[in-house]
Amino acid sequence: MPSSVTLCLRTAANFGKTSPRARFLARTFASSSRRHEINKVVPSAEEALKDMKGDSTLLCGGFGLCGVPDTLINQVEKLPHIKGLTAVSNNAGVPGSGLGKLLASKQVKKMIASYVGENKVFEQMYLNGEIELELTPQGTLAERCRAGGAGIPAFYTPAAVGTVVQTGELPLKHNSDGTVQSYSAPRDVKVFAGKSYVMEESIKGDYAFIKAWKADRLGNCMFRFAAANFNGAMARNAKTTIVEAEHIVEPGDIDPAAVHVPGIYVTKVIQSTTAKSIEKVVNARSPEEMKAGALGSGDAASKRERIVRRAAKEFKNGMYANLGIGMPMLAPTFVDPSVEVQLQSENGILGLGPYPQQGQEDPDLINAGKETVTLKPGAACFGSDESFGMIRAGRIDLTILGAMQVSAKGDLANWMLPGKIKGFGGAMDLVSNPEKTKVVVTMEHTDKKGRPKILKQCEFPLTGRACVSMIITELGVFDVDFTNGLTLIEHAEGVTVEEIQSKTEAPFRVSEDLKVMLQ
């Protein structure tokens, strides 16, 4: 039996001898591949956003300044009628860049984010009551976006149990005088297999702005390195997903196995026209700088180096480890070469390498502190939703992070100081499974005014309860038992137990096998 294609070809060949219906079919076959092809590419951001409405929920990919859809954001800034936006993003860029522009133009009325960071404009707008802020743990934010796109209305997570997120004591909006106008809603809590979890509702977006490395006219997208971050989860979520791509390619130019977001989720594609930025350029130290001191010179640098060198002893061969910003990021510098550790960065990297040499920085390769980094051979990159899935599931053996305060029973406070707010970042997720992930805190023993940071109970809002297993300061090392409290197991050379006691509010036992602090 002739195929349908053969029959249509015969129809076309006998065009003048056939009925009007047959001639119509022949014309359709001959021209449909052009007239009816799927083509989601539009000529400009202006065209892509011509129907965008205000008072809607906008999901915006990016982490720091990496993978941010700046071309689309810049176009919204030019359209002042688009206002009253609820913007969902890990953070709000920096003043004058990314979502920071839409904060300044007063087009955003509410932010749902995990981190305020160094954006002083964002911080002041929140504290002065100019904008509403729904702070959300970074992993919870990623999962809320992923779940919204997967048709899941809510889920339970171990992150933020026992914190202001659970209890509903997180200020959403302030009055102009700094008093609190409204608070967050308390979360439902349920126990599964003897462990408490809080319920979080998914987020549903009206629009998603996505930054891709490559996209084709069908809407298939591919991300590059750490620029994947929130882009994949958000692209799958919104009613209207608009992608700006660095390279618009033909269908088939992206290997099917390399498609990170299938075109079914994408509404429009435009050419990205905005140059990529780097928030924090950090380079590898030269041999001369290392000789002068890996962390610099002076008493403060000496204290930090002592802490970091000791923290490096916690790495064991074959470990998967996550490092917080600041001192923890420097620990790998002191790891013995015989110990191989895979470093994970919660913005979507496994196999994190050292800082790049000058001139080798890549805006698509940053760590959780928005610093430039490299990848080790065998590294993997993925989205933030997958990154926090491996974190919450306890696939990370060790996390090292900083703290403002730690309690005698291992409670951690590291996200907020009175009158200032940085945000949770990924810390609440990183400490949510202490049964499987060892949590080590590195910090100076006292604050700048000489007040103890190891307390009977934390005074600042908690990041997690009963989660810290070890505390390392310039004075000593404590093991933490969530029931029985602290045990001093090491003291720095030249530091007495009495000195440590005088600078520690929390009571502690002294190990019978007390040692001099390892270097």
Nearest to 65 by CA among 380, 299, 340, 276: 276
Count of H-run helices and E-run strands, the chain: 14, 28
Token pair in block for residue 41 = 């590419």
Q: What backbone phi and psi angles, to 5 degrees, belong to 116?
A: -95, -40
- Alpha helix stretches (DSSP H) within 78-149: 100-104, 120-127, 138-149
* Residues 141, 165 contacting (CB under 8 angstroms): no
Locate tokens 């659970």: which residue? 166
End-to-end CA distance of the chain: 82
Which three-class secondary structure string do you get for 437-451? CEEEEECCCECCCCC
Which secondary-structure segment (H or E) carries 508? strand 508-516
Closest CA to 278 of 375, 384, 361, 381: 361
Reading the block at residue 146, the tokens are: 């992923």
Q: Give the separation between CA 385 and CA 147, rounded to whole angstroms.
A: 10
Least Cα distance to 412 among 471, 367, 475, 368 occurs for 471
In 3D space, the residue among 109, 101, 172, 85 whose CA is nearest the CA of residue 136 turns out to be 172
Measured distance CA(220)–CA(458) in Å, rounded? 49
Catalytic annotation, pick one of 132, 305, 314, 346: 346
Contact yes or no for 84/54 (Cβ under 8 A): yes
C-alpha to C-alpha distance for 31 and 37, rounded to whole angstroms: 10
Contact (CB, 8 A) for 250 and 220? no
Residue 375 backbone phi and psi in degrees, to 5: -115, 145
Backbone dihedral angles phi then psi of residue 314, each to the nearest 5 degrees: -80, -10
123 catalytic residue (yes or no): no
Active-site residue list: 346
